[in-house]
Structure 1
């Protein structure tokens, strides 16, 4: 089994380039438990994303909401929305992931009327795609066709992809959803990303709640409310979780001791690192290290 490292920048923006040689799209299968973390970590991207679960079940967290997506159903995740995914009940979840630049969905002449209001909508972070609904069935079938077109690369397949993409978008917007835009919600999203970006820059250093709040131009209490609302955790608990996430790669390096890893990712106590690692990963850092050394 190939273990994949999901790469993001300091603002949690995914670094994967979502495009073919010609088109600003990407369509591929993802097996959740093959990620180095055992789940798809928190991230965001400019592209809109469609998910089609083909095996098992997944729990997607989008902002504060958790959505269980069953085999055969899917999910639309809007541009710029923080999200993560984990397997449900060790089901071996596999999903088709289709990412596309919003500006490629429809022609420039139609973008302003039929795409921009939905991309900018603050009341549309995601939409569950139910295969039992006609519009949902049409979207999921089109995703499969796009995946096949990319794999086969028959003549004029790029044109066929644009036709399927227009069909997807039409079915998304004809189900009656009314987009709304609230400036304060957009500001909250920006401040949340500012605080996360600061943590990712300074995670190896001593971090205080005041530092995180200052990065988001918020008070301590407001900072805590933002984290609770968006990620259902506290700022300092998020720091601990992120440090553990960063430790996973270091633990796979034979020459790194547990203590060295602990201090390099910002823990000032090896015992505290072990305690938090065990609580998160259900095993000690040493046990995790031995497993990875044996795999290699």
Structure 2
């Protein structure tokens, strides 16, 4: 089973190349707890994403909404939407994920009519798949066929792969999309991306609430409301969580001591860093490093 680790740039856009073939499409299995952070961090990408839960349960956040998906459930995540995922109800969750570039769905002549408008349908950031619905089962069957085509690469498999994508997209348009654009929701999402972008560029510096608010062209109170609505936490709490997330990389991939790591990710006190780390990760930085070191070394040997 291929586990997928991805890179995210400063504005949370995923940098990982979504390609398991020479085409702009990727299909992979993800076990959430195997991600470095223990969950799938907040991010976005231009590709459409189709997810089906294979085992366990997962809590997905799409923009401002939080959803719980169980085994057999699925979800479509629209292009450009902020999203994250974590395990739910103490279960070990594995899901299959298909990412595909919008431009690969149809021929150029059809893209303007049948794809492009739906990318910007802000009233449809996601569509849930219920295993009881025949059309949802059909989409899952197409994804399984795509997996087989990628694994076996038979003659003319690229044409068959494209046929499967068109079938998936047709099922989605017939059963899920609302062709509405809410300017307010779109602008809110874009402001949030700008503020998170600024945090991800400056987290290692002194970060003040007014700096974050200024980036979103908001007052401090409005800024706090945006974070509460979308991330369910305050801006400065998010900053500290992101700093801890960045420290996980340094703990696994460098030999910097705890004090050096604390200062590199923006904490001006080692004790405060350790206390915040324990509060968020339920362990100490040193214990985390000892736990993850064997796994990190094993991954390194595999890569070599």
With the length of structure 1 as denominator, give the TM-score of the two structures.
Answer: 0.95
State how 1:237-276 maps to structure 2 within 5 Å.
237-253=237-253, 255-276=255-276
Q: Quickly say closer, same or farther: Cα 1:173–1:223, change in 2 above 3 A.
A: same
Q: Secondary structure at the match of 2:37?
A: coil
CA distance in 2, matches of 1:263, 1:50: 39
State how 1:100-139 maps to structure 2 within 5 Å.
100-139=100-139
Q: Shift of the alpha carbon at 1:61? A: 1.0
Q: Confirm whether residue 278 of structure 1 aligns to residue 263 of structure 2.
A: no
2:170 aligns to what? Answer: 170
Q: How many residues align?
A: 296
Q: Quickly say closer, same or farther: Cα 1:201–1:162, change in 2 above 3 A.
A: same
Q: Shift of the alpha carbon at 1:216? A: 1.2
2:46 aligns to what? Answer: 46
Q: Say whether the 8 Å CA contact 2:48–2:77 is kept in structure 1.
A: yes
Q: Say whether the 8 Å CA contact 1:2–1:34 is kept in structure 2.
A: no
Give CA deviations for 1:45-71 in whole Å, capped at 9, x if unaligned: 000100011121111111121111111
1:287 aligns to what? Answer: 287
Give CA deviations for 1:162-196 in whole Å, capped at 9, x if unaligned: 11111111111111542211222222111111111
State how 1:231-242 maps to structure 2 within 5 Å.
231-242=231-242
Q: Quickly say closer, same or farther: Cα 1:3–1:277, change in 2 above 3 A.
A: farther
CA distance in 2, matches of 1:217, 1:40: 28
Q: Secondary structure at the match of 2:252?
A: coil
1:58 aligns to what? Answer: 58
Cα-Cα RMSD = 1.8
Q: Shift of the alpha carbon at 1:20? A: 4.2
State how 1:208-227 maps to structure 2 within 5 Å.
208-227=208-227
Q: Say whether the 8 Å CA contact 2:2–2:30 is kept in structure 1.
A: no
Q: Secondary structure at the match of 1:272?
A: helix
Give CA deviations for 1:134-175 in whole Å, capped at 9, x if unaligned: 111111111111111111111111111111111111111111
With the length of structure 2 as denominator, give the TM-score of the two structures.
Answer: 0.93
Ranges in structure 2 where 5+ consecutive residues have no aligned partner: 298-304
Q: Say whether the 8 Å CA contact 2:127–2:177 is kept in structure 1.
A: no
Q: Shift of the alpha carbon at 1:254? A: 5.9
State how 1:17-96 maps to structure 2 within 5 Å.
17-96=17-96
Q: Confirm whether residue 154 of structure 1 aligns to residue 154 of structure 2.
A: yes
CA distance in 2, matches of 1:74, 1:192: 26
Ranges in structure 1 where 5+ consecutive residues have no aligned partner: none
Q: Shift of the alpha carbon at 1:113? A: 2.1
Q: Shift of the alpha carbon at 1:250? A: 1.1
Q: Quickly say closer, same or farther: Cα 1:122–1:259, change in 2 above 3 A.
A: same
